[in-house]
Structure 1
Amino acid sequence: MSLEVLKRGLLATVQDLGRKGYGKYGISSSGAMDSYACSIANWLAGNEGGEALLEITWSGFSIRFLQNTLASITGADLTPESGGISVPMWRPVIFRKGSELTFKRPVSGCRSYVAVLGGIDVPEVMGSRSTYMRAGIGGLKGRALQSGDVLKMNQTAFESLCMRSSVWSVEYPFQTVNWSAAPRYTYGHPHQVVRVTRGREYGDFSSLALERLLQDEYIVKPESDRMGYRLKGPQLPLVTPREYVSEGVAAGTVQVPADGQPIILMADRQTLGGYPKIAQVASVDLPRVAQLPPGGSIRFHEISQSESEGLYFEQTRKMKLLKSMIDYRLREGFHAAAGFEL
């Protein structure tokens, strides 16, 4: 089982949920920028959630399925099409052998995820298949995908699913279902309110900086990438400029360098940081940040640590419920079924 990259687009890489436990060696976790969309894409494709998939940034990317393939598309709406027909997102899709999937233009958000049954078959590096381009490891040869690349897939259970699919004989480039796992909230909107807790050096910033952080709007700069989102807005000055000892940082850490412009650290962040940390993005809101395009805006809203933890536990509960519902629907096969949305 395999698929071929026809057009590389702006940036496409193989990712999973990232490598854990290697930060002390200076190795970033990497992984999908939007872990929410990554997990659901895998579930819809019949996987457990951590299998390797494609992360596609912006538009211009296209692939050809070299075998009949069960797949799904989540995350940003980059106008996916196959055979000139719009491909519905947030649901399982069976692509016929020879079908092409093309991402035309961004409508909302900036990162789409394409999962296939069994996952993308690339070697594990330190327990993960995620591409970490800065170190040249993981994914396909540690780099972004290029036109002409062929990726292997592990689709051992595909035929049994097709045998349960009453609509498989219809002549279209793909088949899908009439139910969806799309999120209810506005996903990929270019203007987001992002919840944060206080950072380690929160108290080192002036009262003016703290007021600006929570009242003003910050714009995502074009040089933002998988390492960090650079923001433009009112400066956030310290009470007294000083040097800081470098220490561990996490995804969502909001650092403020000497120019007073905040940076949100993302999946490919460095493992140590010496800039003062004014805030920490709640983990449940990191997918919202990951889908912000250049020119998009952020307003920060402060919550307590206990509130952030409560949001995480509640999301975990809902995600478990969603996976159970998806598994139930997949067991029914590709038959007409009542739709549902979560």
Structure 2
Amino acid sequence: MIEVLTSAQLNTIQDAGRTHALTLGVSIGGAMDGLALAAGNILVGNARNAAGIEVVFYPFRIRFEADTICAVTGADCSAMLDGRAIPPWWAVRVRAGQVLALSAPRSGCRAYVSVAGGLDVPDVLGARATDMKGGFGGLGGHGLQRGNRIAVCPAARAGCALPDDGIGVNPECALLPREGNVTVRFLPAAEYEEFLPRSRERFMTENWTLSSSANRMGYRLEGAELGMRRPLSLFSHGIVPGTIQVPPSGQPIVQMLDANTCGGYPKIGTVIEADLHLLAQLPIQGHVRFEEVRRDTAIAALRRQHAMLDRLEQEVAAFYA
């Protein structure tokens, strides 16, 4: 078991989400930085989609009630285990009674805590992820609170060869926004040509600021007003995480993991899947720029990301033989 000592409502249990449930009108959900959670799970010997904790409010503290292995990935949040520093993107042995503490991040904004075996909460619609909008998944659809106790599944691997100082990832995995700035790639969407040429140019050449109203449903951006050639009235239609909608205000909204499954605003683009994890780590008031790419580039980027996790899995496998 794990006991939550210090937390806030928006810290939640997440896994890889419910991609198959879109046809039911259910958000994909899951970890906003799926790469970080997958890497953390690999480091502790879990399947990549095992449930862990997504931390967005700090300080965050938990106590382990049994010996185990845990990893902290994602944001660089000065992780400490009983006062001993844990490097970013690192897995270590934990003794019963020890306390893990995460402080405000130096870079990034979302940290992930993975535990050997994964967190044992009910499977709802094929996933353990918390859907706070729907009120299900995780711990009854709610964020973590002080005093919550979370069960842990039996570890599938022993980790007998894990070094005393732990193991970490190759630096190529640990990508975070630098100094609150990030560039993400996008594909033009259905209404791209309906935007004025000057608006399309501004979309790609100007910095956009992440609004304080950003959340797991969508990232509202502030910057130049994006105008259209003519007013468009669209029926609601399917959208996915990464879809960049432009409401009448002219300020774009990037749909994130808890986004609705349909919407009617015109779409200027879609952030490629391989870059969503970078956008998810952008802090409030951080800046983002958009770079247009082709479909084959988007596919190649996702394949490289999967290959990177494959290599990490191969490197770590020896420690859990």
- What is the alpha-carbon distance in structure 2 between the residues aligned to residue 65 and residue 181 of structure 1? 27
User: Equivalent residues in 2 for 1:126-137 (5 A)?
Assistant: 126-137=125-136
Residue 20 of structure 1 is matched in structure 2 by 19
C-alpha spacing 1:178/1:326, structure 2 compared with 1 (3 Å): closer
- What is the alpha-carbon distance in structure 2 between the residues aligned to residue 44 and residue 303 of structure 1? 32
Residue 146 of structure 1 is matched in structure 2 by 145
Q: Helix, strand or coil for the counterpart of 1:141?
A: coil
Using the TM superposition, give the Cα deviation of residue 188 of structure 1 relative to its aligned residue in structure 2, in angstroms: 3.4
Range with greater deviation from structure 2 (132-141 or 180-189): 180-189
- What is the alpha-carbon distance in structure 1 between the residues aligned to residue 21 and residue 97 of structure 2? 40
C-alpha spacing 1:322/1:156, structure 2 compared with 1 (3 Å): closer
- What is the alpha-carbon distance in structure 2 between the residues aligned to residue 64 and residue 205 of structure 1? 52
The size of the alignment, in residue pairs, is: 320
Residue 123 of structure 2 is matched in structure 1 by 124
Range with greater deviation from structure 2 (2-11 or 139-148): 2-11
Residue 102 of structure 1 is matched in structure 2 by 101
The 8 Å contact of residues 8 and 60 in structure 1, kept in 2 or not, is answered as yes
C-alpha spacing 1:10/1:139, structure 2 compared with 1 (3 Å): closer
Using the TM superposition, give the Cα deviation of residue 119 of structure 1 relative to its aligned residue in structure 2, in angstroms: 0.4
Residue 300 of structure 2 is matched in structure 1 by 310
Q: Helix, strand or coil for the counterpart of 2:185?
A: strand
| Alignment deviations for residues 91-111 of structure 1 (CA, whole Å, 9 cap, x no partner) | 221111101111122110000
* Unmatched segments (≥5 aa) in structure 1: 168-174, 332-342
User: Equivalent residues in 2 for 1:236-275 (5 A)?
Assistant: 236-275=226-265
- What is the alpha-carbon distance in structure 2 between the residues aligned to residue 228 and residue 139 of structure 1? 21
C-alpha spacing 1:180/1:11, structure 2 compared with 1 (3 Å): same
Q: Helix, strand or coil for the counterpart of 2:55?
A: strand
- 2:190 is the counterpart of 1:200: yes
Using the TM superposition, give the Cα deviation of residue 329 of structure 1 relative to its aligned residue in structure 2, in angstroms: 3.9
- 2:178 is the counterpart of 1:191: no
- What is the alpha-carbon distance in structure 1 between the residues aligned to residue 217 and residue 141 of structure 2? 15
The 8 Å contact of residues 81 and 87 in structure 1, kept in 2 or not, is answered as yes
1:289 to 279, 288, 297: 279
TM-score w.r.t. the length of structure 2 is 0.95
Q: Helix, strand or coil for the counterpart of 1:11?
A: coil
Q: Helix, strand or coil for the counterpart of 2:159?
A: helix
Residue 36 of structure 1 is matched in structure 2 by 35
- What is the alpha-carbon distance in structure 1 between the residues aligned to residue 77 and residue 188 of structure 2? 34
| Alignment deviations for residues 258-278 of structure 1 (CA, whole Å, 9 cap, x no partner) | 100001100100000111110
The 8 Å contact of residues 9 and 142 in structure 2, kept in 1 or not, is answered as no
Residue 177 of structure 1 is matched in structure 2 by 166
| Alignment deviations for residues 120-161 of structure 1 (CA, whole Å, 9 cap, x no partner) | 000000000000000001000111011000000013456x43
Q: Helix, strand or coil for the counterpart of 2:279?
A: helix
C-alpha spacing 1:156/1:38, structure 2 compared with 1 (3 Å): closer
C-alpha spacing 1:54/1:225, structure 2 compared with 1 (3 Å): same
The 8 Å contact of residues 169 and 312 in structure 2, kept in 1 or not, is answered as no
* Unmatched segments (≥5 aa) in structure 2: none
Residue 205 of structure 2 is matched in structure 1 by 215
- What is the alpha-carbon distance in structure 2 between the residues aligned to residue 33 and residue 200 of structure 1? 25
Using the TM superposition, give the Cα deviation of residue 79 of structure 1 relative to its aligned residue in structure 2, in angstroms: 1.5
Using the TM superposition, give the Cα deviation of residue 314 of structure 1 relative to its aligned residue in structure 2, in angstroms: 2.3
TM-score w.r.t. the length of structure 1 is 0.90
- What is the alpha-carbon distance in structure 2 between the residues aligned to residue 102 and residue 178 of structure 1? 19
The 8 Å contact of residues 188 and 270 in structure 2, kept in 1 or not, is answered as yes
- What is the alpha-carbon distance in structure 2 between the residues aligned to residue 136 and residue 207 of structure 1? 42
Q: Helix, strand or coil for the counterpart of 2:221?
A: strand
Cα root mean square deviation, aligned: 1.6
Q: Helix, strand or coil for the counterpart of 2:317?
A: helix
- What is the alpha-carbon distance in structure 2 between the residues aligned to residue 210 and residue 178 of structure 1? 45
Q: Helix, strand or coil for the counterpart of 1:308?
A: helix
Range with greater deviation from structure 2 (17-26 or 101-110): 17-26
- 2:278 is the counterpart of 1:279: no
Equivalent position amino acid for 1:138 in 2: G
Equivalent position amino acid for 2:166 in 1: V
Q: What percentage of aligned pairs have identical amino acids?
A: 36
| Alignment deviations for residues 190-249 of structure 1 (CA, whole Å, 9 cap, x no partner) | 100111110111011111110111111100011101001110000111111121111110
